[in-house]
Amino acid sequence: MKTPLLYDFDFTEFAARIKSWGEPKYRGKQIWEGIYKNLWLKPDEFSNLPKSLREKMGELLTFDVLKPVQIQESKDGDTQKTLYELHDGQKIETVVMHYEREEGQDRNTVCISTQVGCGMGCKFCATGQMGFKRQLSSGEIVAQVIYAARHLQDIGENLTNVVVMGMGEPFHNYDETLKALARLNDADGFAFGARRFTISTVGLVPMIWKFAEENLQYNLAISLHAADDDLRSSMLPINDKHPINKLLEACRHYVDTTHRQITFEWALIEGVNDTPEQAFILARKLKGLLCHVNAIPLNPTRGYHGRGAGSDRAKIFKDALEEQGISCSIRAHRGIDIQAGCGQLASRN
């Protein structure tokens, strides 16, 4: 990579770089607003700049941060998955999901990746099955959101939510992930509200403690999937290092510090973790914690043979939790026909 990525700078760094080209100070702000407010993706779109500066931008900054390789749309038209190639030939996937509301604004959510592959090795996750390749830079994370927002703008819609739940473990790439979200949250740039971001982690306990002390307004989701250590370790190897009680201790600290509700993600696997017994154990462990359980029948992947729980078993699990005072919802499958559901993303054509 000969030139730096367009989105890898915060405003101070970016303005200093533009000034180093011999340009007046105000040009930095003009270009920044073009990138983050107007969502311009090519130098030629910056019509408010002289041609000489547009040419200089094209020579000294990499605009093509992500190159679309393949775009797939689900049969219902509500989910679109894009396979992007990065500057070094590695690939990631990003998903845009549309949700219709009976009243008010429809919701458009982008699910973004933070790594090429993942080193956590979760048994039922396609990304975990491919292993860890490399970290994404903050600019490569930011670009996924900007590209999604531009796509939606071009079809007359708006981006409403960002979920950091794609390929990779965000807290394994902690600094770059938070830099990216800060850039997207910047009031003088993309200005995306903090509470419209959700970060999902498999449960890296030290990073949850650290994240709590940041006292940010981003939503936090924990991929839990089991209520006892033996079962969780059989599915999520990270549990051997960060067992459930230590994980929940960090979660309680997070809630006590931020006063924000925490979400627990639960992939319902038939006959494995969808039983009333698991629900009762989970309810005891979560008692008194400001939280919500977000369950979804397991999405199929090539490397795992477990089956997603049926609707009847999912309802029994949900009812068992709610009888014990734990809030729970069952999510519907999205984009399964194009392998765009939770746990299905991987770098493949």
Q: Please give the positions annotated as active site.
A: 93, 342
Question: Nearest-5° angle of CA 12, CA 186, CA 135?
Answer: 80
Can you read off the two tokens belonging to residue 265?
Answer: 């993600």
